[in-house]
Amino acid sequence: MNLSGKTIVVTGASSGIGGEVVRLARVSGARVIGLDRNDPLITLDGFVKADLGDPASIDAAIAALPETFDGLVNAAGVPGTAPSELVGRVNYLGLRHLTEGVIDRLKPGSSIVNFASVLGGEWQQRLALHKALADVDGFAEGEAWLAANPVPQDTCYQYFKEALIVWTYAQAQRWFLEFDIRMNCVAPGPVFTPILGDFVTMLGEERVANDAPRMKRPGFGDEIAPPVTFLLSDAARWINGINLPIDGGLASTYI
Protein backbone atom coordinates (compact mmCIF):
# COMPACT_ATOMS: atom_id res chain seq x y z
CA MET A 1 0.00 0.00 0.00
CA ASN A 2 1.24 3.47 -0.89
CA LEU A 3 0.16 6.31 1.39
CA SER A 4 3.02 8.64 0.46
CA GLY A 5 2.12 12.28 0.89
CA LYS A 6 -1.09 11.54 2.81
CA THR A 7 -1.98 12.75 6.29
CA ILE A 8 -4.13 10.28 8.23
CA VAL A 9 -5.93 10.80 11.56
CA VAL A 10 -6.30 7.64 13.65
CA THR A 11 -8.46 7.46 16.78
CA GLY A 12 -7.52 4.91 19.40
CA ALA A 13 -3.95 5.34 18.20
CA SER A 14 -2.23 4.73 21.52
CA SER A 15 -2.66 0.96 21.66
CA GLY A 16 -4.24 -2.16 20.19
CA ILE A 17 -5.39 -2.28 16.58
CA GLY A 18 -5.24 1.50 16.27
CA GLY A 19 -1.55 1.37 17.11
CA GLU A 20 -0.96 -1.28 14.45
CA VAL A 21 -2.74 0.89 11.87
CA VAL A 22 -0.47 3.78 12.87
CA ARG A 23 2.67 1.68 12.40
CA LEU A 24 1.69 0.37 8.98
CA ALA A 25 0.40 3.70 7.71
CA ARG A 26 3.65 5.41 8.65
CA VAL A 27 5.73 2.64 7.04
CA SER A 28 3.54 3.11 3.95
CA GLY A 29 4.55 6.77 3.77
CA ALA A 30 1.76 8.57 5.62
CA ARG A 31 2.02 11.31 8.18
CA VAL A 32 -0.16 10.11 11.07
CA ILE A 33 -1.93 12.20 13.70
CA GLY A 34 -3.13 10.17 16.68
CA LEU A 35 -6.23 10.95 18.70
CA ASP A 36 -6.78 9.16 22.01
CA ARG A 37 -7.73 9.77 25.63
CA ASN A 38 -4.48 8.04 26.71
CA ASP A 39 -0.98 9.31 26.07
CA PRO A 40 0.66 7.62 23.07
CA LEU A 41 3.06 4.71 23.44
CA ILE A 42 4.01 4.77 19.78
CA THR A 43 5.79 7.15 17.41
CA LEU A 44 3.38 9.63 15.82
CA ASP A 45 3.70 12.74 13.68
CA GLY A 46 1.25 14.53 15.92
CA PHE A 47 -1.07 13.76 18.82
CA VAL A 48 -4.32 15.24 20.14
CA LYS A 49 -5.80 14.08 23.43
CA ALA A 50 -9.58 13.67 23.36
CA ASP A 51 -12.41 11.84 25.08
CA LEU A 52 -14.75 10.53 22.37
CA GLY A 53 -17.58 10.25 24.88
CA ASP A 54 -17.60 14.03 25.36
CA PRO A 55 -18.73 16.25 22.45
CA ALA A 56 -16.94 19.29 23.90
CA SER A 57 -13.68 17.34 24.00
CA ILE A 58 -14.27 16.19 20.43
CA ASP A 59 -14.87 19.77 19.28
CA ALA A 60 -11.62 20.88 20.93
CA ALA A 61 -9.79 18.02 19.22
CA ILE A 62 -11.23 18.96 15.83
CA ALA A 63 -9.95 22.51 16.33
CA ALA A 64 -6.46 21.11 16.99
CA LEU A 65 -6.33 18.86 13.91
CA PRO A 66 -4.70 19.95 10.62
CA GLU A 67 -6.70 22.21 8.33
CA THR A 68 -6.82 19.46 5.72
CA PHE A 69 -6.01 15.77 5.70
CA ASP A 70 -6.55 12.65 3.60
CA GLY A 71 -8.02 9.98 5.82
CA LEU A 72 -9.72 9.18 9.11
CA VAL A 73 -9.60 5.82 10.88
CA ASN A 74 -12.18 5.46 13.66
CA ALA A 75 -10.52 2.68 15.66
CA ALA A 76 -11.26 3.94 19.20
CA GLY A 77 -13.89 2.17 21.23
CA VAL A 78 -14.83 0.71 24.60
CA PRO A 79 -15.91 -2.90 25.25
CA GLY A 80 -19.39 -4.01 26.19
CA THR A 81 -18.34 -4.44 29.81
CA ALA A 82 -18.53 -0.63 30.06
CA PRO A 83 -21.92 0.92 30.90
CA SER A 84 -24.31 0.88 27.94
CA GLU A 85 -24.60 4.68 27.91
CA LEU A 86 -20.81 5.04 27.62
CA VAL A 87 -20.63 2.43 24.86
CA GLY A 88 -23.21 4.41 22.89
CA ARG A 89 -21.45 7.71 23.46
CA VAL A 90 -17.98 6.51 22.44
CA ASN A 91 -18.61 3.77 19.88
CA TYR A 92 -21.40 5.52 17.99
CA LEU A 93 -22.36 9.08 18.91
CA GLY A 94 -18.80 10.31 19.43
CA LEU A 95 -17.55 8.59 16.30
CA ARG A 96 -20.31 10.24 14.27
CA HIS A 97 -19.73 13.64 15.87
CA LEU A 98 -16.02 13.54 15.04
CA THR A 99 -16.55 12.28 11.50
CA GLU A 100 -19.24 14.82 10.68
CA GLY A 101 -17.12 17.54 12.28
CA VAL A 102 -14.11 16.94 10.01
CA ILE A 103 -15.89 16.17 6.76
CA ASP A 104 -15.09 19.61 5.38
CA ARG A 105 -11.39 19.13 6.22
CA LEU A 106 -11.04 15.90 4.28
CA LYS A 107 -9.67 16.44 0.80
CA PRO A 108 -11.43 15.07 -2.29
CA GLY A 109 -10.34 11.46 -2.69
CA SER A 110 -10.05 10.95 1.06
CA SER A 111 -11.09 7.78 2.87
CA ILE A 112 -12.87 7.13 6.18
CA VAL A 113 -12.60 3.68 7.77
CA ASN A 114 -14.90 2.82 10.68
CA PHE A 115 -14.25 -0.11 12.99
CA ALA A 116 -17.37 -2.23 13.30
CA SER A 117 -17.22 -5.87 14.43
CA VAL A 118 -18.25 -9.37 13.47
CA LEU A 119 -20.70 -8.92 16.37
CA GLY A 120 -22.56 -6.32 14.30
CA GLY A 121 -23.53 -8.87 11.70
CA GLU A 122 -27.19 -9.07 12.76
CA TRP A 123 -27.99 -5.44 11.92
CA GLN A 124 -30.85 -6.50 9.61
CA GLN A 125 -32.84 -7.69 12.64
CA ARG A 126 -33.03 -4.13 14.01
CA LEU A 127 -32.81 -2.21 10.76
CA ALA A 128 -35.74 0.14 11.44
CA LEU A 129 -34.26 1.20 14.79
CA HIS A 130 -30.80 1.68 13.34
CA LYS A 131 -32.12 3.74 10.43
CA ALA A 132 -34.10 5.91 12.83
CA LEU A 133 -30.96 6.56 14.90
CA ALA A 134 -28.96 7.24 11.74
CA ASP A 135 -31.47 9.96 10.84
CA VAL A 136 -31.04 11.75 14.18
CA ASP A 137 -29.11 15.02 13.91
CA GLY A 138 -26.23 15.53 16.29
CA PHE A 139 -24.84 14.19 19.56
CA ALA A 140 -27.44 15.70 21.91
CA GLU A 141 -30.39 14.53 19.83
CA GLY A 142 -28.77 11.11 19.63
CA GLU A 143 -28.56 10.96 23.42
CA ALA A 144 -32.22 11.93 23.65
CA TRP A 145 -33.20 9.25 21.13
CA LEU A 146 -31.28 6.61 23.07
CA ALA A 147 -32.85 7.73 26.34
CA ALA A 148 -36.25 7.11 24.74
CA ASN A 149 -35.06 3.84 23.19
CA PRO A 150 -32.73 2.34 25.82
CA VAL A 151 -30.28 -0.36 24.79
CA PRO A 152 -29.89 -3.37 27.12
CA GLN A 153 -26.50 -3.68 28.79
CA ASP A 154 -25.93 -7.29 27.74
CA THR A 155 -26.22 -6.52 24.02
CA CYS A 156 -25.07 -2.89 23.90
CA TYR A 157 -21.76 -3.58 22.14
CA GLN A 158 -23.41 -5.56 19.38
CA TYR A 159 -26.20 -3.01 19.06
CA PHE A 160 -23.94 -0.02 18.51
CA LYS A 161 -21.69 -1.90 16.07
CA GLU A 162 -24.85 -2.78 14.11
CA ALA A 163 -25.89 0.87 14.24
CA LEU A 164 -22.47 1.95 12.99
CA ILE A 165 -22.69 -0.39 10.00
CA VAL A 166 -26.14 0.94 9.11
CA TRP A 167 -25.04 4.59 9.48
CA THR A 168 -22.03 3.89 7.24
CA TYR A 169 -24.26 2.30 4.61
CA ALA A 170 -26.73 5.19 4.81
CA GLN A 171 -24.16 7.98 4.67
CA ALA A 172 -21.33 6.70 2.50
CA GLN A 173 -22.78 7.28 -0.95
CA ARG A 174 -24.06 10.75 -0.05
CA TRP A 175 -20.55 11.89 0.88
CA PHE A 176 -18.98 10.10 -2.08
CA LEU A 177 -21.28 11.89 -4.53
CA GLU A 178 -21.06 15.30 -2.82
CA PHE A 179 -17.46 15.44 -1.61
CA ASP A 180 -15.63 12.55 -3.36
CA ILE A 181 -14.93 11.07 0.08
CA ARG A 182 -15.24 7.32 0.60
CA MET A 183 -16.44 5.69 3.83
CA ASN A 184 -16.27 1.99 4.65
CA CYS A 185 -16.41 -0.30 7.68
CA VAL A 186 -14.18 -3.17 8.68
CA ALA A 187 -15.53 -5.94 10.92
CA PRO A 188 -12.82 -7.77 12.87
CA GLY A 189 -13.51 -10.97 14.74
CA PRO A 190 -11.77 -11.70 18.06
CA VAL A 191 -8.33 -10.10 18.13
CA PHE A 192 -5.46 -10.43 20.60
CA THR A 193 -5.59 -6.97 22.19
CA PRO A 194 -5.47 -5.72 25.81
CA ILE A 195 -9.29 -5.81 25.96
CA LEU A 196 -9.79 -9.34 24.58
CA GLY A 197 -10.64 -10.52 28.10
CA ASP A 198 -13.44 -7.95 28.28
CA PHE A 199 -15.01 -9.48 25.20
CA VAL A 200 -14.85 -12.97 26.69
CA THR A 201 -16.60 -11.65 29.79
CA MET A 202 -19.15 -9.76 27.70
CA LEU A 203 -20.07 -12.69 25.46
CA GLY A 204 -20.18 -15.30 28.19
CA GLU A 205 -18.82 -18.84 28.32
CA GLU A 206 -21.52 -20.36 26.10
CA ARG A 207 -20.93 -18.01 23.14
CA VAL A 208 -17.15 -18.27 23.48
CA ALA A 209 -17.33 -22.06 23.58
CA ASN A 210 -19.61 -22.05 20.51
CA ASP A 211 -17.29 -19.80 18.51
CA ALA A 212 -14.00 -21.47 19.48
CA PRO A 213 -14.23 -24.48 17.11
CA ARG A 214 -15.32 -22.17 14.28
CA MET A 215 -12.05 -20.22 14.44
CA LYS A 216 -8.47 -21.07 13.66
CA ARG A 217 -7.51 -18.61 16.42
CA PRO A 218 -8.11 -14.96 17.34
CA GLY A 219 -6.46 -12.52 14.98
CA PHE A 220 -3.43 -10.34 15.56
CA GLY A 221 -3.54 -6.58 15.28
CA ASP A 222 -1.02 -6.65 12.45
CA GLU A 223 -3.45 -8.84 10.48
CA ILE A 224 -6.19 -6.24 10.78
CA ALA A 225 -4.10 -3.21 9.83
CA PRO A 226 -3.27 -4.12 6.19
CA PRO A 227 -6.89 -4.20 4.92
CA VAL A 228 -7.50 -0.90 6.73
CA THR A 229 -4.44 0.64 5.10
CA PHE A 230 -5.59 -0.66 1.73
CA LEU A 231 -8.96 1.08 2.16
CA LEU A 232 -7.08 4.31 2.92
CA SER A 233 -5.06 4.03 -0.27
CA ASP A 234 -5.84 5.19 -3.80
CA ALA A 235 -5.90 1.52 -4.85
CA ALA A 236 -9.31 1.36 -3.12
CA ARG A 237 -10.62 4.50 -4.81
CA TRP A 238 -13.72 2.68 -6.18
CA ILE A 239 -14.61 0.90 -2.93
CA ASN A 240 -17.29 2.72 -0.97
CA GLY A 241 -20.06 1.82 1.46
CA ILE A 242 -18.93 -1.71 2.33
CA ASN A 243 -18.49 -3.65 5.57
CA LEU A 244 -15.37 -5.78 5.16
CA PRO A 245 -15.06 -8.82 7.48
CA ILE A 246 -11.52 -9.40 8.77
CA ASP A 247 -12.26 -12.39 10.93
CA GLY A 248 -10.47 -15.44 9.55
CA GLY A 249 -13.77 -16.66 8.13
CA LEU A 250 -15.74 -16.68 11.39
CA ALA A 251 -18.79 -14.86 10.01
CA SER A 252 -19.06 -17.31 7.12
CA THR A 253 -19.66 -20.19 9.53
CA TYR A 254 -23.00 -18.68 10.60
CA ILE A 255 -24.51 -18.84 7.10
Which residue positions in the chain have pLDDT lower than 50?
none
How would you classify the pairing of strands 243-246 and 69-74? unpaired
Total domains present in the chain: 1
Residue 248 lies in a domain: no
DSSP letters for 122-140: TGGGGHHHHHHHHTS-SHH
pLDDT tens by residue, 61-103: 999 999 999 999 999 999 999 999 999 999 999 999 999 999 9
Active site residue 157: yes
Sign (positive or negative) of CA dihedral 99, 102, 104, 106: negative
pLDDT of residue 2: 95
pLDDT of residue 140: 97
What SS3 class is residue 99?
helix
Residue 65 lies in a domain: yes
Query: Active site residue: 157, 159, 169, 254, which one?
Result: 157
pLDDT of residue 200: 66
- Count of residues in the chain: 255
Residue 95 lies in a domain: yes
pLDDT of residue 156: 97
Residue 176 lies in a domain: yes
* H runs (alpha helix) in 9-54: 16-27
What's the chain's average pLDDT?
A: 94
N-term to C-term CA, the chain: 32
Residue 156 lies in a domain: yes
The CATH number assigned to the domain holding 211 equals 3.40.50.720
Rounded CA separation 112/125 (Å):
26
Q: Identify the helix (H) or strand (E) that includes residue 185.
A: strand 182-188
Domain encompassing residue 76:
7-239
Residue 60 lies in a domain: yes
Residue 22 lies in a domain: yes
Residue 252 lies in a domain: no
pLDDT of residue 26: 98
